Amino acid sequence: MALFRTRTAAVYGIDAHPIDVEVDLSASGSGRDFVTVGMPDTAVRESRERIRSALANSGFGFPNKGVTINLAPANLRKEGAGFDLPMTVGILGAAGAVSGTDQHMMVGELSLDGSLRPVRGVLSIAVCARTRGIRNLVVPVENSAEAAVVEGLNVYGLHHLREVVGLLAAPERFQPVRANSPGSGAKVDAAPDFSEVRGQTTAKRALEVAAAGSHNVLMIGPPGSGKTMLARRMAGILPPLTFAESVETTQIHSVAGLLQQGGGLLGLRPFRAPHHTISDAGLIGGGSGTPRPGEVSMAHHGVLFLDELPEFPRNVLELLRQPLEDRSVTIARANMTLVFPASFMLIAAMNPCRCGFHGDATRECRCTGAEIQRYLGKISGPLLDRIDLHIEVPAVAYKELRTRNDGESSAAMRERVLATRAIQQRRGFHNAEIPNRTLRSLCALDDAGERTLELAVRRLSLSARGHDRLLKVARTIADLDRSETVAAKHVAEAVQYRSLDRNYWT
């Protein structure tokens, strides 16, 4: 047999596309003739040296013929070392050493001794295999747990090339990997607890409202007031991931290479806190070659925390507009356009000025008025419009610091958040994502509520987007209050969470 075909897949974005690996052995060539076509990158072209050593060290030997490998379709760029295994099995099949690969998709990097190394994006490849009706998937053992969560697919996690050949020769001797329960071992209680935060009752209430409706939050306060401490406790009051959310989040982390080896589905909502020196590609996604997901996609179904917000480059911050509005990121390249999901809660924190003490009653601010405006001006109006709650986090008083009484626990807050999310689930969307067509019917106001809203819009000079977001926050507060209607008191509380528009920016 001179021509043989194996099946694999390549990941673009978070989706995998099937790739046929066609191997042809030519008697007119020598064992040093090894050509790979089909837009391979450097890692794929270098696989010939890994394949030679792996075959020799596994006891199979390399055929003394010319080898031509075509990765089809040829118009898609092939990247990474995951093609090592299907290319090697294709060579063995063309030499007549193996057969029966039609119902097998395989992926894996080869070591020089023939052992299999883990690769990125295996969960997406498993979904692709099931969609294409392929029954069996062969992966390195470290990737088997994530692939096994896909139902209707036999996943074989193997250690060595010899095991792959043995599986093809006698499949009855091997058992497919059984899937672990989603998020096994992950506990929400592992997150830091709100009871550890002294004082900041108003900020805690605002963060509970944000968690209940999946709203974005901006916290402003002096250094040491607890902004970062509050943000890092958000994961403890958010509901656990659903199965569908867990699969999608795990796919993104798998593509990015962030999954722990041997780990299955993620059970905790991600919390991403990039440094303010991050690039635009690091935050939104992109890079050379096939675009990779950025921090906004890694925070999908979780929290993106941006500390010291004005220290981020303004051009990077402006890139947040699309994902905050569309809940996705579109990255266009000359040969492809990829869409990454990016439905996250944004929690941002900043000082009121460069020295941090503007408005502090106990410490003097050293900044001039022009310096303060220049510092705050790094946050544009359109970006502020997309942040639902703007809250002040003042310095904690001495008596509150020294109190022996613990604050309210995350468990109590999470119970209220879960009950409120259940109300929204029956509507089919979070309050932060209420469609415009249903906004007025879901947030109908009485006369007192209308007067309160009108006064707030005029005094705060809110845009149409700001008006809509204020209504959505009021709807969340009403849901927390178990109220079918949005009353004036709910609107008034929502207005308090936009009062910094007046105090700082207007």
Domain containing residue 338: CATH number:
3.40.50.300
Same-domain status, 278 and 337:
yes
Q: Return the top range by mean pLDDT from 178-182, 248-252, 396-400.
A: 248-252
**Phi, psi angles (nearest 5°) of residue 26:** -115, 125
- Per-residue model confidence as pLDDT tens digits over 40-95: 999 999 999 999 999 999 999 888 889 999 999 998 899 999 999 999 999 999 99
> Are residues 478 and 372 both part of a single domain?
no
Confirm whether 178 is domain-assigned: no
Same domain, yes or no, for 24 and 122?
Answer: yes
Residues 363 and 420 in one domain: yes
pTM: 0.88
Q: Domain for residue 182, yes or no? A: no
Domain boundary, last residue among 427, 445, 476 = 427
Residue span of the structural domain in which 502 resides: 434-506
pLDDT value, residue 190: 66
Let me know whether 407 and 466 are in one domain.
Answer: no
179 within domain boundaries:
no
Res 505 pLDDT > 70: no
Residue 258 backbone phi and psi in degrees, to 5: -105, -5
Residue where a domain terminates, one of 370, 393, 427: 427
**How far is it, in rounded angstroms, from Cα 207 to Cα 451?**
26
**Average pLDDT, integer, range 188-199:** 79
User: Do both 12 and 54 map to the same domain?
Assistant: yes
Question: Is residue 157 within 8 Å of 139, Cβ to Cβ?
Answer: yes
Confirm whether 229 is domain-assigned: yes
Q: Are 12 and 125 in the same domain?
A: yes
Residues 224 and 354 in one domain: yes
Dist. CA 128–CA 9, nearest whole Å:
8
Residue 180, domain member (yes or no)? no
Q: What proportion of the chain, given as a percentage, has pLDDT over 70? A: 96
Residue 422 and residue 440 in one domain: no
- Of 412, 427, 442, which residue sits at a domain end? 427
Q: What is the spatial order of strands in the sheet that 303-306 belongs to?
A: 271-272, 303-306, 345-350, 217-220, 389-392
Quick check: 135 pLDDT over 50?
yes
Is 50 exceeded by the pLDDT of residue 185? Answer: no
232 and 314 share one domain? yes
| CATH number for the domain harbouring residue 23 | 3.30.230.10
Q: Looking at the structure, tell me whether residues 144 and 52 fall in a common domain.
A: yes
* Nearest-angstrom CA–CA distance, 62 and 92: 9
Contacts of 431 by beta carbon, 8 Å cutoff, 6+ apart:
212, 213, 214, 215, 424, 472, 473, 475, 476, 479
**44 within a domain of the structure (yes/no):** yes
Has residue 269 been placed in a domain? yes
Total domains present in the chain: 3
Q: For 329-358, what is the mean pLDDT?
A: 90
- The DSSP line for 23-56 is EEEETTS-TT-EEEESSB-HHHHTHHHHHHHHHH
Asked whether residue 490 falls in the same domain as residue 422, the answer is: no
User: Residue 428 pLDDT > 80, yes or no?
Assistant: yes
Residue 395 lies in a domain: yes
